[in-house]
Amino acid sequence: MSHFPRMWAGLAALLAGLVPLAAAAQTLDYGDVGANGEAAQDGGSSSRGSSGGQRAKHRGGRHGSYVAPYIEARQVVSAELSPGNDVVTYSTIAAGVDATVAGRNNAASVSLRYERRIGWGKANSGDTISGLLRGYASVVPQTLQIDAGVLATRTRVESGGAAVLAPLGDDDSVTQLYSAYAGPTLSTEAGDAKIDAHYRIGYTKVESPNSIITIPGQPPLDIFDKSIAHDAGIHIGTRAGTVLPVGIGAGAGYYREDISNLDQRIEDLHARADFTLPVSRDLALAAGVGYEKVEISSRDALRDANGFPVISGNGFVTDKSTPRQIAYHADGLIWDAGVIWRPSRRTQLEAHVGRRYGTISYFGSFSYAPNERSAFNVAVYDSISGFGGQLNRALADLPAQFTANRNPLTGDLSGCVAALEKGNCLNGALGSVRSATFRARGVAASYNIQLGNMSAGIGAGYDRRKFIAAPGTVLAVANGVIDENYWLVAYLGGRIDRSSHYSVNLYANWFQSGSSFAGDSSALGATLAYYRNLTDHLEATAALGIDNISRPEPLQGLTSASALAGLRYTF
């Protein structure tokens, strides 16, 4: 965790500085129909769930802003139902803050929690930090802003490389994951032309205690360590009817990701022209054509005297003396065509089909918000990246105002946020934590609704990753392997009476590994929590939960049930 607590401290200070700036949040002009669609292609009552949303109270702000720092003490009992029958108990003390601030030119949400676990008997002791932050601050109002996001959470890494948020237990397969990004976004005009540009730098780290997963008689599976990603783009365009009867534009983008495992590198440079032809007031046809060059390269592992790869605590040791080897190279014409439908400020559809990365590509998005209490969002994506780049993109797609959902028993983030603006989930970006680069195609959907004192939401998706690795290297065993991940997250929360409320959380992951030795696995779980206000600031909590992990033979699955009793004081 080293430098990350300091990062969170700095971001918390920034958030505190934004609190006095509360005012109306910015909204998009639905009539400004863009033509390039690159963002979609590269993508990628409040729910309490122990996040404090139900009782959070703003201390002096407006427009739905609130700040709720808290301390908490809990007692947890967990019973293994299969394959064994162990019962462990542990105590936790925690401190955290849940906050959302909205200013005229600034907005941010954060859910930050530090927890100290004290194990009794066989239970492990330790510290965990988890948090999610997403926000922006305007340097020049309506023109230049700085966007940022941070994620810190625990994840369980299964034998096939599958990653599951809010994991049960605390064994060697549970590890800490960090991801952060920041960068400026520019939106301005020059005469009749609109100029949009952005730059993001991202960092992701998986603190896996065992960077190499081995199964007797099978090849080793290298787990992602860390990466730095750069994403930059610019687009200049005019709307239909200003200069020409059709909207015209031109843009360029550059993406680079450097992965520590075997010095893997992704470089993607593209440029394109695009056109928008209005068919009616609500409908337009869009098309684009351009050039793209994508190259993925890496080095091989250092070999010992017997020709076997050298392994350290961080995985394979890279042989810096060897030249880079090309794993993937594609350059040439890219194109796409599609439709843009925006009948109102509450309904937007954009769908494209084209050619990219040497094959047919599909991408698009749909959003529908029939009223201020509900929202439905769908995104279809197609991209090439590493694990870190994919997670950075998902983090950047989150809205700046949300309520984080947490597992009431573990305190971990569930992966989805409650938000009527977008309601995005991070689960689809997890999937497999193999170190190899990949092409990801998938779809993610979410629905959030608020009815009086009750709120509910569901997120679901499918993620398919085809891995890319250089032949002749230790990662070559992953080349062409396809991993598929189906995921589902749901929550329900509401008030029972003036002094009590409840939350229900469900999650499910079905992971299908393309490796013959890994097999399929699944993770299912549910929690039910009851909260009772004892005073204006003190709250009692009782919760029950059940979790199941199914693993391929000869590995054993795991089923456990847990119960919790605790007290939380909110300042």
Q: pLDDT of 276-331, one tens digit each? A: 999 999 999 999 999 999 999 999 999 988 888 888 777 888 999 888 999 999 99
Stated as kind and residue range, the H or E segment containing 6 is: helix 4-18
Which residues fall within 8 angstroms of residue 417, CB to CB, at 6 or more apart? 109, 132, 398, 399, 402, 403, 404, 405, 423, 424, 425
- For 58, list phi and psi in degrees, rounded to 5: -75, 135
Which of 33-42, 58-67, 418-427 is most confident? 418-427
Least confidently predicted of 108-112, 227-231, 446-450 = 446-450
pLDDT tens by residue, 339-372: 999 999 899 999 999 999 989 999 999 999 998 8
Phi, psi of 19 (to 5 degrees): -55, -45
H or E element, residue 391: helix 387-396
Q: Are 214 and 474 in contact (CB under 8 A)?
A: no
User: Rounded to an integer, what distance in angstroms lies between the CA atom of residue 469 and that of residue 460?
Assistant: 29
pLDDT exceeding 70 applies to what percent of the chain? 82
- Cα distances (angstroms) measured from residue 175 to each of 43, 354, 457, 550: 25, 39, 27, 19
Instruction: Please provide the average confidence, as pLDDT, over all residues in the chain.
Output: 84
- Residue 111's pLDDT is 94
Residues 6+ apart with CB under 8 A from 549: 156, 158, 164, 168, 521, 522, 523, 557, 558, 559
Least confident window among 120-124, 468-472, 512-516:
512-516
Q: Retrieve residue 395's tokens.
A: 């983090």
Q: How do 221-222 and 264-278 pair as beta strands? A: unpaired
Please report the pLDDT score of residue 37 as a whole number.
36
pLDDT tens-digit map of 153-195: 988 776 666 676 655 556 666 788 999 999 999 999 999 999 9
Residue pair 15/110 in contact by the 8 Å Cβ criterion: yes
Query: What residue type is assigned to position 240 of the chain?
Result: A
470, 325 in Cβ contact below 8 A? yes
- Using a 10 angstrom Cβ sphere, with 0-12 exposed, 13-18 middle and 19 or more buried, the burial of residue 127 is exposed
Q: How confident is the model at residue 218, as a pLDDT?
A: 62
The answer to whether residue 39 scores a pLDDT higher than 80 is no
Separate counts of helices (H) and strands (E) for the chain: 4, 29
Do 403 and 418 form a contact (C-beta atoms < 8 A)?
Answer: yes
Instruction: Catalogue the long-range contacts made by 556-561 (C-beta closer than 8 Å, 24 or more residues apart).
Output: 556/83, 557/82, 557/83, 558/80, 558/82, 558/83, 558/168, 558/169, 559/80, 559/81, 559/82, 560/78, 560/79, 560/80, 560/81, 560/168, 560/169, 561/78, 561/79, 561/81
285: Cα within 13 Å, side-chain hemisphere: 5
Q: How far apart are CA 206 and CA 241, in angstroms?
A: 50
Percent of the chain with pLDDT over 90: 54
Contact 182, 394 (CB under 8 A): no
Q: Which amino acid is at 122?
A: K
Q: What per-residue string of b and e applies to 323-349 under the rule 16 or more CB within 10 Å gives b?
A: eebebbebeeebebebebbbeeeebbb
> What is the Cα–Cα distance from 107 to 57, expressed in whole angstroms?
17
SS (H, E, C) 241-299: CCCCCCEEEEEEEEEEEEECHHHEEEEEEEEEEEEEEECCCCEEEEEEEEEEEEEEEEC
- Whether domain 4-570 has CATH 2.40.170: the reply is yes
Domain boundaries, the chain: 4-570
What is the C-alpha to C-alpha distance for residues 396 and 446, in angstroms, rounded to an integer?
A: 16
> Residue range 123-142: average pLDDT?
90
Among the ranges 60-69, 403-412, 540-549, which has the highest mean pLDDT value?
A: 540-549
Residue 568 Cα distances to 9, 50, 71, 226, 370, angstroms: 22, 10, 6, 35, 36
Which H or E run includes 40? helix 38-42
How far lies 314's CA from each of 154, 209, 212, 311, in Å?
A: 18, 8, 8, 8
Interacting residues of 348 by C-beta distance below 8 A, sequence separation 6+ = 30, 341, 342, 365, 366, 367, 368
Tokens representing 525 are 């779980």
With 70 as the cut, is the pLDDT of residue 32 above it? no
Is-contact 222 261, C-beta < 8 A?
A: yes
